[in-house]
Homo-oligomer: A and B are copies of this chain.
Amino acid sequence: MEIGMIGLGRMGANIVRRLMRYGHSCVVYNRTPDKVAQLEAEGAIGAASLDDLVQKLTPPRIIWVMVPAGEVTEQVIGKLADKLERDDIIIDGGNSYYKDDVRRSQALQKQGIHYVDIGTSGGVWGLDRGYCLMIGGPQEAVEQLDPILKSVAPGKGEIETTPGREQLKGTAEEGYLHCGPVGAGHFVKMVHNGVEYALMQAYAEGFDIFRSANSEELPADHQYTLNVADIAEVWRRGSVVGSWLLDLTAIALAEDPALSGYSGHVQDSGEGRWTLMAAIESAVPADVLSAALYTRFRSRQEHTFAEKVLSAMRYQFGGHVEK
């Protein structure tokens, strides 16, 4: 099929590459032209502007927007709306807030333009492994995109079939899923990231306990100096806690068990935050998802004001001066 891609960052460029591997024709545009040139060299059709990209695509067009969520996405889609025609499809493949999807889709619907939101997971490994796709939007538009989605997704691969799957239809086993109406794709991807933070935090706390197991605060015969790289490795085989995140942890710890090259400043993106807001709005207790996010907030500060308030109270009632 023919598809336009706007935004050639790591994710956008690799999705184009993967699409070309499967024989799709890609018209590509990026704010900085060097990335366009690079993909032209690999077989894509370059576009010099949004207008150029629109003109080079045959209607009804399919345009995948893969730019930073928030204002940039808002602007690009706003500009596209003026250039597109009835029955064209805009895919927002970034990490947009699902409420923005709903709002934008309602506006575009008036022009007969279809809006499809796709959450993608796969990171730097996606080019070869394929990307897990979580999709929201109108049934017809999503069906039309099927050949593209199938190519970007990982497919069944060598992963064992889930018992009981035979009776269930659908594409989930292929690694892509139409989750529901507009916004549903980003909603599912949002929670995916919330869960991801908490999974990461679970391992992180466990390895922190291991690193601290030789603390001198502990009685001598309860102190252990543990090899965290080996522990991560042994857990990869036969244990209940095996996962892809554990595989990655094993790689990092095999390089340097002290992880001394990593600062410990941990960023968070909107999805982790929005996941909590969604939990709060529907009154779901989300204890570990919250704790995982707050750890990241805390990691980026030298001291919180909260901690100073604690110090101040301790001084006031007990005369304690913290060092």
For A107-141 the 0/1 string (1 means CB < 8 A from B) is 00000000000000111111001111110000000
Closest Cβ of chain B: how far from A158's Cβ, in Å? 8
Establish whether residues A307 and B244, one from each chain, have CB atoms under 8 Å apart when the complex forms: no
- Grouping DSSP codes into helix (H, G, I), strand (E, B) and loop, the A interface class, with mixed when no group exceeds half, is helix
Residues in B neighbouring A302, C-beta threshold 8 A: 264, 302
A71 within 8 A of B: no
Spot the interface stretch: A45-53, A84-92, A203-211. A203-211
Answer yes or no: A243 CB below 8 A from chain B CBs: yes
Complex partner residue of A206 from B98, B192, B250, CB under 8 angstroms: B192
CB pair B317–A287 under 8 Å, yes or no, is no
Known: A202-B195, A239-B122. A175 touches B234 (CB 8 A): yes
Q: Choose one: B106, B134, B206, B284; the contact of A212 (CB below 8 Å).
A: B284
From A27-35, A55-63, A73-81, A273-281, the one touching the partner chain is A273-281
Tell me if A240 and B208 are in contact (CB < 8 A).
no
The CA-CA distance from A281 to B231 in the complex, in Å, is 21
Report whether B307 and A195 are in contact in the complex, using a CB–CB cutoff of 8 Å: no
A245 → chain B, closest Cβ, in Å? Answer: 6
B233 touches A264 (CB 8 A): no
Contact between chains at B202 and A289 (CB < 8 Å): yes
Q: Which of A179, A233, A238, A275 has the most CB of B within 10 A?
A: A238
Q: How many residues of A contact B (CB 8 A)?
A: 156
Task: Mark contacts of A193-207 with chain B using CB atoms, 8 A cut-off: 1 yes-contact digit, 0 otherwise.
Answer: 011101111111111
A252 within 8 A of B: yes
Name the distance in Å between A309's Cβ and chain B's nearest Cβ: 4
Could you tell me the distance between the alpha carbons of A245 and B313 in the complex, rounded to whole angstroms?
7
A296 at the interface (CB under 8 A from B): yes
**Shortest Cβ distance from residue A230 to the other chain B in the assembled complex, whole angstroms:** 4
A38 at the interface (CB under 8 A from B): no
Asked whether A203 and B309 contact (CB < 8 A) given A233-B173, A234-B175, the answer is: yes
Q: CB-CB contacts of A140-166 with B at 8 A, as 1s and 0s?
A: 000000000000011111011011110
Give the distance in Å from the alpha carbon of A36 to the alpha carbon of B302 in the complex.
Answer: 43
Selected from B213, B288, B319, the residue in CB contact (under 8 A) with A278 is B213
Tell yes or no: A241 within 8 A of B by CB. Answer: yes
5 contacts between A and B (CB under 8 A): A208-B306, A209-B286, A215-B282, A217-B282, A264-B307
- Besides A132-B238, A252-B316, A265-B322, 15 other A-B contacts (C-beta < 8 A): A157-B237, A184-B226, A198-B288, A202-B202, A202-B292, A203-B313, A204-B307, A205-B286, A205-B289, A209-B278, A242-B243, A249-B309, A249-B313, A276-B280, A287-B295
Q: Which residues of B contact A291 (CB under 8 A)?
A: 287-288, 290-291
- Nearest-neighbor residue (CB-CB) of A215 within chain B: B282
Q: In the complex, what residues of B have CB within 8 A of residue A320's CB? A: 267
Q: Does chain B have a CB within 8 A of A310?
A: yes
